[in-house]
Amino acid sequence: MAAQTPQDSSAPTVGIVVVSHSHALASAAYDLAAEMLADQPVRVALAAGLDETTFGTDATQIMAAIQEVDTGAGAVVLMDIGSAVLSAELALELLSDEQRDRVSLCSGPLVEGLLAASVSAAGGASRDDVVAEAVGALAAKQQQVGDVEPDAGAAAAAAAAAGAGEPTRAGPEAVEQFEVTPAHGLHARPAARLVSGLAGFDADITLRNVTTGAGPAPARSLTRVAALGAMRGHQVEIRATGPEAEAAVGFARDLAARNFDDVDAPPPPPTVSDTGPFAASPGVVVGPAWRIADRPPPPPPESTGDPEADRAALAAAIDQVRGELHRTRDAATRSAGADEAAIFDAHLLVLDDLAASAESPSTWPDKVAAAARDLEAVDDDYMAARAADIRAVGDQVLRVLAGEPTESLVGDGILVAADLTPAQAAALDAERTTGVVLAHSSPTAHAAILARARGIPMLVAAGARVLDVAAGVTLAMDGGAGELVIDPDAETRERFAGRARAEQDRRSEAQARAHEPAVTRDGTPVTVAANVASTDEAEAAAAAGAEMAGLVRSEFLFVGRTSAPDIDEQESAYLALAEAMGGRRLTIRTLDVGGDKPLSYLPMPPEANPFLGLRGIRLALARPELLSDQLTAIVRTAHQTPVSVMFPMVTTPDEVAAARGLLADAIDRVGKGQPPELQVGIMVEVPAAALTAATLAEDVDFFSIGTNDLTQYTLAAERGNEAVASIVDPMHPAILRLIQATCDGAGERVLVAVCGELAADPQAVPTLLRLGVRELSVAAPAVPLTKEAVRATDLNGKTDQAGG
């Protein structure tokens, strides 16, 4: 049997078996059908000839072919002459009763029937419809030649074939066109958002590239949608039929209007950086360079001879990879935010597409390659490069099947790379990878934030020249000062090594005193807290000496799911964090999502600039049901352990009043009165909030300055954009003046904290404390050194860094 590998499909479709005395004839017929089908997926197996040169048919070969192509929707068997029919009938007798009921022997012509049946099956038609189209495949030719008058059934089948691929579900129909606006078209992330969003509607949905004529494609298949080749400026038609057709079309229209929630990537930096490298994560290292190895994927395992066992092995591997992707996405969400984690949603959709047509480990590589080729064939370099996502997911499955590790991010010394994703940064072994030098990226990119959280020194924007550094070449780097020397001489090595020894001594001393209070040299106590988003991070924070959780990123409960967590689930999660922190106070920031960080179950209106749109407290007040449930869970928790609630992205006093009103309602619902230790605060991330702090202070217990957002809003420089990395300076005089204004407005009663990246900078700590900050919340590994920076500070020092 020679099985032809189909491309992926988003749902089980009818498979086709070609039975012929001649292997060459069957192969030629398949090649013709495949040429006509282009990128439409269909499962076809050839049971033709006793071998490639010997004429004949074999019932056991036909049975195996049926089992291969039938993945639940059944199979249609096309036959040539004579004993081919007898062999096919015998093959049916060899099948189980359940599978036999899903197989139809078809009398349609072999060549025309195969083409018609393949088109019909690819469009998702039922087994009966596939048979009807194959039987009627001669109708058009008969009518044109005029030798036979086609019967009504054949004519109907021919007419039906003309509409293959169009929606078939009964009910209301909606059709609309939208323009593709992302710079690189419907690449992985926007396509994933479109596909995942449309999957929940009760409608039969197809997409067609009106500009090129490609399609239609089922809207539930990521690779089929991506393979439409929808580039920027192309018009795409969405056609939906069914009860929720209008809603589905409306969702696509709104998503397109907001650029598919896609933030176009900035242009790459110059080949050689004139300004870098930039300090991204402190630490001094001297060591050999290493590069991420390009491992070829292992070959697929050979068939066991048991089709069911083979399918079970592949399904188990796919399930394991699905679990790995979920864990990677969740880790990236906690460490770097929901927007970066969205790429893993795309990988999950790719896996689901491939899994829908998976048959055996031996055919898996061909299936992956076919899906990747669809994208590589698109006339756009960026779009074609997205095939790497498909190959990466496919390779993960192969490595699981072969028992190999799925990640190859292991090396000793300083990693040199063009860039790192959050997942790759999370996968580094901090004991062996002593530093990272990136050609691109920025100090505020998510990989850099993660490196700081894990205590791995990092330099970014070093320029493409670093990619020419060979493995084993010695590098000397200072991640705090932004210095890099390639192949240093002995004197330079010793200079950097001396810095590294001094830094290690400081770290050891800081760790020894980690659980002691942080008090300035002139006797002022300062709280050093930790930013957490999981029980593991909370345990690490307590072990590092954190006095409380200064920022609990509650988004970890809400992302990566199809509906919001209920009150009980949220309360349970908060209590688990409190237990991990040893009963120390939790400062829970209410849900901080919005236009730039959407939730799949929270539809958003189109926004031209989501960073300046409906996000943080603005979104929470617009959708009060989510905030009310969260506040109820927080109040319940506050009756059992010390809790502070903190509202993000506050700009006006009216927002504080509305949020406190919902909090009062939650206290009434819980019915136990005001929790005795519950405190209320707001994030200061908007310049307007800093400048009106005195008014806002009238209704809160504390301010927490988010220096990351405050910096980008003040300097008009997006913090993840490497093209403006040199502008993003949280120690800019304008930022320090806003921090000073916040502290002045807070007065004596309202505490001021800093929970942004600036709080972990030892050089910035003295300035922050002298401006009036009395709480610093940092990543757990930074707690000991931050305490040491506090102890080294004298508040009577000059504050000239604030600009006077």
Catalytic residue among 184, 440, 743, 755: 755
| 755 catalytic per annotation | yes
Burial class (CB in 10 A: 0-12, 13-18, 19+), 525: exposed
* CA-wise closest residue to 192 among 341, 364, 355, 356: 341
Q: Give me the DSSP letters along 411-465.
A: -SEEEEES---HHHHHHS-TTTEEEEEESS--TTSHHHHHHHHHT--EEE---GG
Residue in the block written with tokens 């039975």: 19
Give the pair of three-digit tokens for residue 423: 């997942």
| Spatial distance between the Cα atoms of 739 and 263, rounded to a whole number of angstroms | 29
Q: Which residues of 776-788 are buried (b: 16+ CB within 10 A; e: fewer)?
A: bbbbbbbbbbbbb
Q: Give me the amino acid identity at 739.
A: I
- Residue 784, preceding bond cis, omega within 30 degrees? no
Largest CA distance in the chain: 107
Give the pair of three-digit tokens for residue 519: 């008090």
* Inter-residue contact 780 to 760 (CB < 8 Å): no
Burial class (CB in 10 A: 0-12, 13-18, 19+), 804: exposed
Give the pair of three-digit tokens for residue 502: 């001094």
* Inter-residue contact 527 to 548 (CB < 8 Å): yes
Spatial CB neighbours of 564, under 8 Å, sequence gap ≥ 6 = 558, 599, 601, 602, 626, 629
* CA-wise closest residue to 535 among 593, 574, 561, 479: 574
* Inter-residue contact 570 to 557 (CB < 8 Å): yes
| 446 catalytic per annotation | yes
CA-based torsion, 400, 406, 412, 416: positive or negative = positive
Give the pair of three-digit tokens for residue 482: 């932004």
| Spatial distance between the Cα atoms of 389 and 372, rounded to a whole number of angstroms | 8
* Inter-residue contact 614 to 645 (CB < 8 Å): no
| Spatial distance between the Cα atoms of 669 and 424, rounded to a whole number of angstroms | 44
Phi, psi of 458 (to 5 degrees): -150, 140
Catalytic residue among 446, 515, 639, 732: 446
| Spatial distance between the Cα atoms of 73 and 14, rounded to a whole number of angstroms | 5
Q: How many CB atoms lie within 10 A of CB 798?
A: 9
Distant-in-sequence contacts of 382-389, Cβ < 8 A, 24+ apart: 382/184, 382/185, 382/187, 383/184, 383/185, 383/187, 383/226, 383/229, 383/231, 386/187, 386/188, 386/226, 389/188, 389/343, 389/346, 389/347, 389/350
* Inter-residue contact 687 to 734 (CB < 8 Å): no
Which helix (H) or strand (E) segment holds residue 352: the answer is helix 338-356
Q: Give me the amino acid identity at 631.
A: L
Q: Which residues are catalytic?
A: 446, 755
